[in-house]
Amino acid sequence: MKDNNKTMRIATMTFRLRAPWVHSLKEKRMIVKSLVAKLRNRYNVSASEIDEQDTHQIIVIGVAAIVPHNAFADSLMEDISFFVEENTEAEIIDEEREIL
């Protein structure tokens, strides 16, 4: 067996979005469900609403992926950030990235 001393990395992202037109949790759930499903399907990542579940106009989504190296993590996170921006009308008010 070949030993390349490779270690996997975990890339995590947190998006805080503002959707000022949302006036009910039902409306918010529809936005969250759609965006999370799109992220999971397109990038094969783990994605979920992680905070502010009872706040109508703020959406906080966490994304995590196992990646082979930092360069792949950087590229993936850049793609995901662009994808989120393009696939929701909500404004990104904060984005955090981390590679573990």
**Tell me, what CATH number does 82's domain have?**
3.30.70.1120
Global pTM? 0.89
Print the domain residue range for 61: 9-99
Looking at the domain assignment, is residue 3 inside a domain? no
Domains identified in the chain, total number? 1
pLDDT digit string, tens, across residues 13-71: 999 999 999 999 999 999 999 999 999 999 999 999 999 989 999 999 999 999 999 99
pLDDT in tens, 75-95: 999 999 999 999 999 999 999
**What is the separation of C-alpha 81 from the centre of its chain, rounded to a whole number of angstroms?**
8
For the purposes of burial, counting CB atoms within 10 Å of the CB of 97, is it exposed (0-12), middle (13-18) or buried (19 or more)?
Answer: middle
